[in-house]
Chain A
Amino acid sequence: MEALIIILQAGVGTGTVLLFATLGEVFAERSGVLNLGVEGMMLIGAMSAYSVALSTGDPWLGVLVAMLFAGAISQIHAFISITLLADQVVSGLALTFLGTGISLVLGEGLSKAGAVSLLPTLSVPLLSKIPLIGPIFFTNQSVMVYIGYLLTPLAWYYINYTRPGLHLRAVGEYPAAADALGINVYRLRYLYVLVGGMLAGLAGATISLAVSPGWFSELTTAGQGWIAVGLVIFAQWDPLRAAAGSYAFGALRRLILDIQGPTQLFGFPNPFYYNPYWGFFLQMLPYAFTIIVLVIGSREAVRKRIGAPAALGTPYVRGERGV
């Protein structure tokens, strides 16, 4: 029980990374722009956050630079897919290549750099006393985790119940109608791609300055950006479901790391301890689960007749017959 709580506690931290990236992608896709560059933007964020925190000693400055840099690079995708009307799939892929390449070049030598001051951790005074929930969610968590708690309901409320949120959904569902109502489709799409990029940068910074500190080139993210893109589909573009999925995946990632440690599991000899090579099959699990989750998400979407924002993936051209 103790061990499980520790794993879940760490899983919340790991899940926060996915949460930021997934929420960012929810915003971008709700506005009708599919951005497959999440992985690249996260790498940019992780690299620049670590690099800035290292050279200035201020992790918060690192977080800020990570969000700005990742946001800036997301605008390349925005320009190519919104203004130049290019295919969003290819453009997003290109962004991942670009982000990976740039972060590898600028992050050269960072992995051997020394210790860096990390983002602070804290416990919430009263909430941490709640049995079970307290130790898992509110004890010794990074500040980022709490930002995640705040961001999720805010995003959900913003998208579903505010006027700008209504505009966001209109732009993603029926841009021609939104345009006719005087909403600037292009500007909003640029804006939400920027939001997505900044959140992906925040996710990257959360890795390198809080959850698993350091810069390990491409292994820093190890495909979490792609898992986030998958989670958006599973979450059916809803922030609350995105949070549930993110924390579940975070816990799974932690479980895989931690299950190989103890010699005993539920009173039995731990097979993963005595056969360390089985760990490779454990490593497949998050990726396999992403596929399973996609199957479930896709089926459910078909059954409930809810789906992607109707204009997702199609560039908007004023005056053309839209969706």
Chain B
Amino acid sequence: MAGLFGSLTIATSGLTAARTGLDVTGQNIANVNTTGYVRRRMDLAEIAPNASMQAGRGVEVLQIRALRDHYLETQLAREQGGRASDETTLAGLRGVDAMIGLPGESLDVQITSFFDAFSLLASDVTSAPAREGVVRAGQALGDAFNALSTRLTDAQAVHNQSIVAAVSEFNSLATRVAQLNARIVTGGVDVEALRDERTTALAGMAELANISLIERPDGAVDVTVSSGHALVVGANAYPVTATPEPPSGFVSLHLADFDVTGKVTGGRIGALIDLRDTTIPSYQAAVDRLAYDIATQVNAVHATGVDSQGGAGGPFFTPPASVTGAAATLSVSATVAADAGMVAASGTAAAGDNQVARAIAALRESRVMSGGSATAAEAWANIAYQVGSDISAAQASLGTREQIVKQLQRLRDQQSGVSFDEEAANLIRYQRSYEASARYFTTILDTLDSLMAMVR
């Protein structure tokens, strides 16, 4: 249709486009702080003329597009998962660091005191207080090992509880992704908003575990763990179950009948599993080894001695049944604990013979621990070094990951983020467009009035 009424249609389309542009700008500004929100852009198209000598028929809003970059979002989610894993690892290791303590405030004090006590006894082998001192120092050493072992076991239990909580959160997110898949596939005007929400949910899942995403042609996203086991297929979510396993009661993770505990290697859950099943047990094993070595080495020397009653020396420490659990059970034998006279400090029945006390005191500087490669203090220092070294590695990894995440966030924001400056410019532009269209509209109306006046 040509003529002035056609011009009014052009003006109306301009007003509609400008108002829609203002709405898109407002929506972008309103969601500047919304997690997962991707900025929207209005795509306009000229309405072509349908007759010769016609300028055109105005403008139409083709679509409101979400400026989403799937590659960057997937990369960002993966790196954020890695960052969450590093953060969790670092937090767990810092907990162990606190248990280890500083030099002069850690197990090294009890180790030194223990050998000091035997050294004092060697200097005055008939001294009853010196004998009592040896027993007390042995008990203090045992208590320190017991406490450290308990703290490490408790840390494992805490991480186990965190795994259970994280799995629950993971399942909730998987369910939400499945629900969103269903609605996205159905289609509708709010698909982009649903995609935003799904992106946030998927990022949450990636922070919890290493997942793989497969985008389907219908818009749904399937989620699997790295082993290929499905967590979400279209509108269906398959929950991960956390099943307590004897004897520790620590949970294993299952997807249907498959044990996927070892497959979850990333995200917070992966880090928690690693802390619970690998990292802390390795420290526990090293502490057990040290406790076992101290007990067996001291006992071996002690057994060659003679107690204050002239009897053959028994074990000073209760003999550990095995390396595993030695730290948790290290204690002075009941016989010695009940009577310090049972400390076999002598090599013969002579009261002044201090050979065995000297030999045990000399263990302080003997490299008979850790398979003959370290003294007791060195073995302990090696454990502290290992913890510190692991923390340093985790810190470095986290630092690198932070930079990668920041860089990816910048790249994503360049594509999908809301810029106040840009939106402010758009605001003015659409406002001016609206004002111009309105002015054009009134001009046409005035023209029509002039035309009608001619008729009158």
A and B found bound together: no
